[in-house]
A and B are shown apart, each in its own frame.
Chain A
Amino acid sequence: MVRSRKLHFWSWPSELRRNGITGINSRNIDLIFPLNPRSNYALVDNKALTKKLCESRHIPAPETYALIQRFGDIKRSIDLLFGLSSFIIKPTRGAGGRGVLAIANRRGNEFNNAKGEPFSLEQIRYHISTILSGLYSLSGHPDQAMIEKLIEPHPVFNGLTVAGTPDIRIVIYKTTPIMSMLRLPTKSSKGRANLHQGAAGVGIDLETGITCGGVWRDRLSDVHPDTGASLSGLMIPRWKDVLTIATQLSCAIGLQYVGVDVLLDADGGPLILEANARPGLSIQIANRCGLWPRLRETNLKLCLS
């Protein structure tokens, strides 16, 4: 029986357990600690290393224009920006979409982000220097900045894109994709695709690549919070390729429980955005299913084969 949504304030732990929901403590203790060796974290925590790995394994990823490692490099990189009309600047060790600056177009010396807000070269230079000083890095240590090609979202997401670029999160357990979702930036997430910042998540059927209902701010939601467009029934193009490159990356990284984020380029195919050694748990709400049944299923398959 489906109970009234308004009167539902909590779920008993026994109900959560019955649904196979993984909590944060359990994710850390039962999945991340035993499955992800600490030494391999650097590969996912540093986007530049992830990118290098992709290049060496021929896994498609967005083109890198420049990697700025020192304050002295900033000026040279700024010169490079004059040849570009759109690009994205991100810290290599950033988390949660922090410190990401996307420039969508340029008019002379004035750059505009996707929302049309102007950015001067001076502001961009300052932004790069704050990245280098470590403001956005996970540990606060000095960081590096990456200038990448800005990916145009695939037209299939047209009705669902308000700001930023949607991406696809695939959770991979022992080289098997076990759960996936489409992450849609919203106005309240300020264009970022992280669910805890207010992005919407849409569960995707792993077999078919067709979306089902979604989640927004930890509540079930069947429509996009900004546009009201239906979230279900969307077919992700080149779904098998998406799963393939995600699996390839997870094998290369050597983490057995990992979330891989994939972008769908308008003209190219799927591209690796980044990987995450501590994937979030809201994906369970998006898919209306806990992780435990999928993990058990995978273990069973691995045992049989």
Chain B
Amino acid sequence: MISRNRAAILTALILIVAGALCAWLRITYTLKPAGSQGGRAWRLTYDINLSSTREGKIRVALPDSTSYIRIYRETFSHQGIWVDLLRNKRTRGREASVVSMAGHKRGRFFAQFDIYLTPDQQSKLPAAEEKLSANDRAYYLRAEKDVQITAPGLANILNQLANEQMTKTELLTSIFDYCAENIIKGEKDIFSDAVNTLEHGIGNTLGRARAMVALCRLSKIPARVVAGFILENTQEAQVHYWVEAFSQKKWLSYDPENGYSAQLPITFLPITRDSIDIVRGPDTFGYQSRYSIRQLLASTSFVSSEDNQLWNIVDLTRLPPSMQEIVSLILLLPLAALITTIFRNIIGIQTFGTFTPGLIAMGFIHADWRTGTLVFFIVLSVGILVRLLLNKLQLLMVARLSIVLTMAVLCMVLAVSVLDYLSLTPSASAVVLPIVILTMMIERFNIIAEEDGLQNALKTFATTILVAACCFLVMKVAWVGRLSLIFPEVQLFNVAILLLIGRYSGYRLSEIWRFRDITQIPFN
């Protein structure tokens, strides 16, 4: 007995040491620091709700692949609207033309872009050489409502900045310096036009960009405002504005707010150069737009295959993001099994099946948990009811199980559809519950209810839900999933802990309660 325990402890120790060693070696030799490793793959989500019930048309600017940005996957979903993808005539930027249909309650446009920033580029990029037609040149030198180049105040400022000997390039730098240094960053609702920003020396992001564009155009340098996003994890991404000025046959980017001159970091994602709005439509046409940005897991070697070392097999972050999601979910299953083992062997709580809680939790991970719970209980109660009715028909087990399965599938699909019909759930995150596990749970519930009483069945059901909830809460923690993906070695620790639990011969927590009466008897 003792030798077995020792062997188990020894094996556990070896596994822990091996796992730690492997992780340490990889951290030291192969994994690059988080800065260069992370920040490559991002997901930009558009969620635009049309509140108008009339017919109307809006334009939505979309991100596009460039020399350093690669959109490797995009999904669109929409309801109550027609969507057409097209390109802007002047800037060649991608746009979606969204037409709402009369009579539909609410239109919705939902788009997801998975973006990969080409890893072989440095953090700052050289711009490509271009030719500007006379027509375009005139267009980018024109006066606009908020870029008032004819205002007298502007000429005065430009006179201070420029002198006769200056080249165009020097002048551009001088203008940028002025806008970056002499204009204070103001709140969102402060001046957003060029004249007021320059006169008062304060403006919001858009105001500063327009101020610079106005000064450039006044000095005959073609310039435009770019609207886009800065890639960072956020639920409510704000549109950021910067400036592109045409100099030395190139469109050079300037961000007066953050002080980036001539080149921008690759995390600046341009969306549109033709307008300051990502969504354009008639003023009377109501819509709410929401943008969110989320970093995806990816490593340097997933797009370029330069780094094909054998070591990289262990580095799961090199897999394409879509596969990473599945892999990290699978890697979380052993963790759920560990939690269930702890509950069963150390706490002494019984569940329906060993892996049921973990698999239920897994079904909830990528779904909205409220709708998930609703669907879960609907399927379960209908299933138990069907099973109860089938009992009267006295069917053979396999046929009966198959009927319960069919009803559960039907019920789940209908429940999801009804929730979607009532617009209670985001259609993109429909619930896919482990239906076979649910069927077995329904069957087990009924058998236990019949054999050991409803009370016992409900108790086991409640404990199963409790354990599933614990698994869910742990699996839901973002860094747990990321950690298990970056360090598959964690699974060795998992096995080590399971080995120790497997040889744990002490009392379960529930036995402290179960045998509570026995210590009342004086021991003789």
List residues of chain A with CB under 8 Å of any chain B CB.
1-3, 5, 8-13, 15-16, 18-19, 21, 23-26, 28-30, 34, 96, 98, 123, 126, 129-130, 133-135, 188, 196-198, 215, 218-220, 284-285, 288, 290
Q: List, in ascending order, chain A residues with CB within 8 A of B511's CB.
A: 16, 21, 23-24
26 contacts between A and B (CB under 8 A): A2-B520, A5-B520, A8-B520, A9-B516, A10-B516, A13-B506, A13-B507, A13-B512, A21-B507, A21-B518, A23-B506, A23-B508, A25-B504, A25-B506, A29-B504, A98-B451, A126-B394, A129-B396, A133-B396, A133-B397, A135-B447, A197-B451, A219-B517, A220-B517, A285-B517, A288-B521
The reply to whether A25 and B397 form a contact with Cβ atoms under 8 Å apart is no
In the assembled complex, the Cα of A24 lies from the Cα of B514 at a distance in Å of: 11
CB of B426 within 8 A of chain A?
A: no
**A-B interface pairs (CB < 8 A), number:** 103
Query: Does residue B453 face the partner (Cβ distance < 8 Å to A)?
Result: yes
Question: Given B1, B345, B518, B523, which contacts A25 in the complex, CB threshold below 8 Å?
Answer: B345
Bound-state CA distance A134–B443 (Å) is 13
Known interface pairs A23-B508, A98-B451; A15-B519 also in contact (CB < 8 Å): yes
Question: B506 touching A11 by the CB < 8 A rule?
Answer: no
Q: Is the CB of B507 within 8 A of A16?
A: yes
Residue of chain A at shortest CB distance from B514: A218
Check A284/B518 contact, CB under 8 A, given A29-B505, A96-B451.
yes
Cβ–Cβ contact B397 & A5, under 8 A:
no
Closest to A218 in B: B514
B345 contacts A11, C-beta separation under 8 Å: no
Interface contact A24-B348, CB-CB below 8 Å = yes
A215-B515 Cα distance, complex, nearest whole Å:
11
The interface residues of chain A lying within 8 Å CB-to-CB of B514 are 218
The yes or no answer to B134 lying at the interface (CB within 8 A) is: no
Q: Give which listed residue, B397, B453, B515, B520, contacts A16 with CB less than 8 A.
A: B515
Asked whether B152 is an interface residue with its Cβ less than 8 Å from the other chain, the reply is no
- Which residue in chain B gives the minimum CB-CB distance to A21? B515
A130 to B397, CA, bound (A): 7
| Interface pair A25/B505, CB less than 8 Å apart | yes
| A272 to B514 CA separation, bound complex (whole angstroms) | 29
Judge whether B515 and A1 touch: CB under 8 Å: no
Are B451 and A11 neighbours in the complex by a CB distance under 8 Å? no
- Please measure, in the bound complex, the distance between the C-alpha atom of A15 and the C-alpha atom of B520, giving whole angstroms: 10
- Are B515 and A197 in contact, CB atoms less than 8 angstroms apart? no
Residues on the B chain within 8 Å of A28, using CB:
505
Tell me the nearest residue of chain A to B348, going by C-beta.
A24
Find residues 475-504 in chain B having any chain A CB closer than 8 Å to their own CB: 503-504
Residues of B within 8 A of A19 (CB): 518-519, 521, 523
Q: CB within 8 Å of A: which residues of B?
A: 1, 345, 348, 394, 396-398, 447, 451-453, 503-508, 511-523
The closest CB in chain A to the CB of B394 belongs to: A126
Residues of B within 8 A of A26 (CB): 505-507
A284 contact from B512, B515, B522, Cβ within 8 A: B515
With a 10 A CB-CB cut-off, give which of B504, B507, B512 has the most chain A CB atoms: B507
**Assuming the A-B contacts A9-B513, A25-B508, A218-B517, are A130 and B451 also in contact, with contact meaning beta carbons closer than 8 angstroms in the complex?**
no
Question: In the complex, what residue of chain A is closest to B396 when comparing beta carbons?
Answer: A133
Query: Could you tell me the distance between the alpha carbons of A1 and B519 in the complex, rounded to whole angstroms?
Result: 10
User: Does the CB pair B521–A11 fall under 8 Å?
Assistant: no
Bound: A158/B98 CA distance, A: 84
Chain B residues with CB under 8 A of A3? 520
Expressed in whole angstroms, the Cα–Cα distance for A188 and B515 within the complex equals 21
**What is the chain B residue whose CB lies nearest that of A132?**
B396
Q: Which of B1, B503, B514 has the most CB of A within 10 A?
A: B514
CB-CB nearest in chain A for B523: A19
What's the nearest-Cβ distance from chain A to residue B198, in Å? 76
Supposing A26-B505, A130-B396 touch, asked if A1 and B522 sit within 8 A by C-beta, the answer is yes
Instruction: Please give the distance in Å from A296's CB to the nearest CB on chain B.
Output: 14
User: A24, A133, A134, A290 — which one has the most chain B CB atoms within 10 A of its CB?
Assistant: A24
B515 / chain A contacts, CB cutoff of 8 Å = 11, 16, 21, 218, 284-285
A133-B503 in contact given A18-B523, A24-B508, A285-B515 (Cβ < 8 Å): no
Q: Which residues of A contact B516 (CB under 8 A)?
A: 8-11
Do A220 and B397 touch across chains, with their CB atoms under 8 A apart?
A: no
What 9 additional pairs, Cβ within 8 angstroms, besides A2-B522, A10-B512, A19-B519?
A2-B521, A19-B518, A21-B511, A21-B515, A23-B508, A23-B511, A24-B511, A29-B503, A285-B518
Bound complex: CA A1 to CA B520 (Å): 8
A14 to chain B, nearest CB (A): 10
A289, B327: Cα distance in complex, Å: 51
Q: Which residues on B sit within 8 Å (CB–CB) of A135?
A: 397, 447
Which residues in A have their C-beta under 8 angstroms from that of B513? 9-10
Q: Separation in Å of the A212 CB from the closest CB of chain B?
A: 11
| Distance of B466 from chain A, by nearest CB (Å) | 20
Q: What is the bound-complex CA distance between A96 and B503, given in angstroms?
A: 26
Chain B residues positioned under 8 Å from A24 (CB to CB) = 348, 508, 511
Please give me the residue from chain A that is nearest to B393 by CB atom. A126
Tell me how far the C-beta of A183 lies from the nearest C-beta in chain B, rounded to whole angstroms.
16
Residues of chain B with a CB closer than 8 A to A96's CB: 451-452
Could you tell me if B397 and A134 are in contact, using CB atoms closer than 8 angstroms? yes
The distance from the CB of A158 to the nearest CB of chain B, in whole angstroms, is 27
Min CB distance B154 to A, Å, is 82
| Chain B residues positioned under 8 Å from A123 (CB to CB) | 394
Chain B residues, Cβ within 8 Å of A1: 522
Contact: A30 with B1, CB < 8 Å? yes
Q: Is the CB of B507 within 8 A of A23?
A: yes
The reply to whether A16 and B522 contact each other, CB–CB distance below 8 Å, is no
Q: How far is the CA of A24 from the CA of B510 in the complex (A)?
A: 10
Quick one: closest B residue to A33, CB to CB? B4
Q: Please indicate which of the listed interface residues A16, A96, A135 has the most CB atoms of chain B within 10 Å of its own CB.
A: A16
Determine the distance from Cα of A16 to Cα of B518 in the docked complex, in whole angstroms.
8
Cβ-closest chain B residue relative to A20: B523
Closest 8 CB pairs of A and B: A15-B519, A11-B519, A29-B505, A23-B507, A126-B394, A26-B505, A133-B397, A288-B521
- Which A residues touch B451, using CB under 8 A? 96, 98, 197
Residue of B nearest to A134 (CB): B397
Q: What is the CB-to-nearest-CB distance from B186 to chain A, in angstroms, rounded to a whole number?
A: 64
Contacts of A10 in B (CB 8 A): 512-513, 516
Bound form: Cα–Cα A98–B452 in Å: 9
Q: Which residues of A contact B518 (CB under 8 A)?
A: 11, 16, 19, 21, 284-285, 288, 290
List the B side residues contacting A12 at CB < 8 Å: 512, 519
> With A11-B515, A16-B515, A29-B503 given, is the CB distance from A188 to B453 under 8 Å?
yes
Question: Within the assembled complex, what's the spacing in Å between the Cα atoms of A134 and B523?
Answer: 45
Chain A residues in 8 Å Cβ range of B522: 1-2
A140 and B515 CA atoms in complex are apart in Å by: 31
- Inter-chain CA distance A25–B515, complex, in Å, is 14
With a cutoff of 8 Å between Cβ atoms, the chain B residues found around residue A18 in the complex are 519, 523
Shortest beta-carbon distance from A25 to chain B in Å:
5
Distance, CA A29 to CA B505, complexed state (A): 6
Closest B residue by C-beta to A97: B451
